[in-house]
Amino acid sequence: MGRARGSRGGGKNDGGNWMAGAVKRPGAFTAKAQAAGKGVQQYARQVTAPGSTASPLTKKQGNLAKTFAKYRP
């Protein structure tokens, strides 16, 4: 039958490592944060704040960085 329409896979129950597939440009957000003179999490908060003029890609990267921070031991 296959997957349901609109299903992307990579869910919690399929055994896939969604984190590995989520990063498209490794190190890009860290480089942006360093260029701004901030740490990764500080920059992530800045670019995801309401009213931020950051590009949509940078905002997505910031959200992903905040998500990854939740999984750190």
- The verdict on residue 43 lying in a domain is yes
The Cα–Cα gap between 65 and 23 comes to 10
pTM of the model: 0.75
In tens, the pLDDT along 7-51 reads: 555 555 555 588 888 989 999 999 999 999 999 999 999 999 999
- The verdict on residue 35 lying in a domain is yes
Which range of residues forms the domain containing residue 47? 25-70
- The verdict on residue 14 lying in a domain is no
DSSP SS3 for 16: coil
- The verdict on residue 41 lying in a domain is yes
The Cα–Cα gap between 50 and 36 comes to 18
Number of structural domains the chain divides into = 1
- The verdict on residue 20 lying in a domain is no
Biggest CA–CA distance in the chain, Å, is 51
- The verdict on residue 9 lying in a domain is no
- The verdict on residue 7 lying in a domain is no
- The verdict on residue 59 lying in a domain is yes
Q: What's residue 43's pLDDT?
A: 97
pLDDT of 68 strictly over 80: yes
